[in-house]
């Protein structure tokens, strides 16, 4: 298939592009590089041994989208979005403009070019504070921040688009906590500024870029008092997109899938696993809970296993080992 991948130079997009190229697809990436690096795409092509087409541009710009679609596109995988919860609370209009406005522009371009199939990068953030774990796709949706709200609106737009167009199909993938890196260490997560996620922060402490980790809360009703989350290897996540693409291409309508391992790990459990993988100490300080954080959150991924034929392959030890390989080979990221 001829595929357009929005945000394909980013963390999850770049890993997915490797698998798409290896599966024989033709890939065009559009990315404005606001939180990513063109170097990642150079390494993607190196790893896959195949070329891709890169359009440096913004999906809100009709001219940039026209360049991305001009070669003929069969389906779209939509990653392009701003994704920092805290930043979204400070800059909600920017998030709504980029995430929601970008999605509207993309879907209009798809419609104009006769493209009917979409795989969408959503988030478990749409569940807010769930009533129970593990979380199924039928759990109530109750967003608690502008980032999560933008993802939920994007989901609704896509569902409405599919309902209005009988030929349209979409698979909406709700990620839990993507971590890890390509086993080669050539591509990985490279946040700009202070990391917003736990694993890259731990990795930067281990490599010496940061002094210590702050653990927010140690009095949760969990085995060690720290928050429990569902960590998923980015290569497993990338594999889910390849499988979702098959469903999107052959079944009209929209469907939602949780992507996680179905098991939670605590903050301190992740720290210990990373210390074992890296052979480095990860010093940390316990601080107060962050407002809005929940004690436990992990997925019920059984729908994805049943209907997509998807099964996570990587363990927590793999996630830590691959993250450390990436960080130790690239101490300053792509810089």
Q: Are 121 and 79 in contact (CB under 8 A)?
A: yes
Taking the C-alpha atoms of residue 242 and residue 35, their distance in angstroms, rounded to an integer, is: 23
Contact 190, 334 (CB under 8 A): yes
Respond yes or no: is residue 147 known to be catalytic.
yes
198-207 and 267-278 are packed helices; what angle lies between their axes, rounded to 10 degrees? 40
The pair of three-digit structure tokens given for residue 104, joined into one six-digit string: 């509207």
Give CA–CA dist 188/182, Å, rounded: 6
The reply to whether omega before 103 is within 30° of 0 (cis) is: no
| Tokens linked to 10 | 């980013």
Q: How far is Cα 226 from Cα 178, in angstroms, rounded to an integer?
A: 19
Angle CA 113–164–105, to nearest 5: 45
The catalytic residue among 11, 95, 147, 201 is: 147
Three-class secondary structure of residue 5 per DSSP: strand
Residues noted as catalytic: 147
């Amino acid at each position: 298939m001829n595929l357009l991948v929005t945000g394909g130079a980013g963390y999850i997009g770049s890993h997915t592009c490797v698998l798409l190229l290896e599966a024989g697809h033709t890939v065009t990436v559009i990315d404005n590089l606001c939180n990513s690096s063109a170097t990642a795409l150079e390494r993607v092509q190196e790893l896959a041994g195949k070329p891709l087409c890169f359009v440096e541009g913004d999906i809100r710009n009709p001219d940039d989208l026209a360049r991305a679609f001009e070669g003929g596109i069969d389906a779209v995988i939509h990653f392009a979005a701003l994704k920092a919860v805290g930043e979204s609370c400070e800059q909600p209009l920017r998030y709504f403009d980029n995430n929601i406005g970008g999605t509207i522009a993309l879907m209009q371009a798809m419609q104009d070019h006769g493209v009917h199939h979409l795989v969408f990068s959503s988030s478990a953030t749409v569940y807010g504070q769930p009533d129970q774990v593990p979380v199924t796709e039928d759990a109530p949706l109750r967003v608690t921040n502008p980032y999560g709200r933008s993802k939920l609106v994007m989901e609704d737009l896509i569902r409405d688009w599919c309902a209005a167009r009988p030929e349209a199909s979409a698979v909406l993938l709700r990620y839990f906590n993507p971590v890890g890196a390509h086993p080669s260490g050539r591509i990985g997560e490279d946040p700009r500024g202070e990391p917003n996620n736990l694993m890259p922060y731990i990795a930067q402490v281990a490599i010496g870029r940061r002094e210590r980790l702050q653990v927010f809360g140690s009095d949760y009703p969990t085995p060690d008092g720290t928050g429990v989350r569902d960590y998923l290897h980015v290569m497993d996540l990338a594999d889910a997109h390849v499988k979702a693409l098959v469903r999107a291409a052959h079944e009209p309508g929209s469907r939602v899938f949780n992507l996680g391992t179905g098991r939670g790990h605590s903050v301190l459990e992740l720290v210990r696993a990373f210390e074992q993988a890296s052979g480095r100490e990860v010093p940390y300080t316990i601080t107060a809970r962050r407002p809005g954080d929940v004690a436990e959150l992990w997925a019920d991924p059984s729908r994805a296993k049943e209907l997509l034929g998807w099964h996570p392959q990587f363990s927590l030890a793999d996630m830590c080992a691959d993250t450390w390989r990436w960080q130790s080979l690239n101490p300053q990221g792509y810089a």
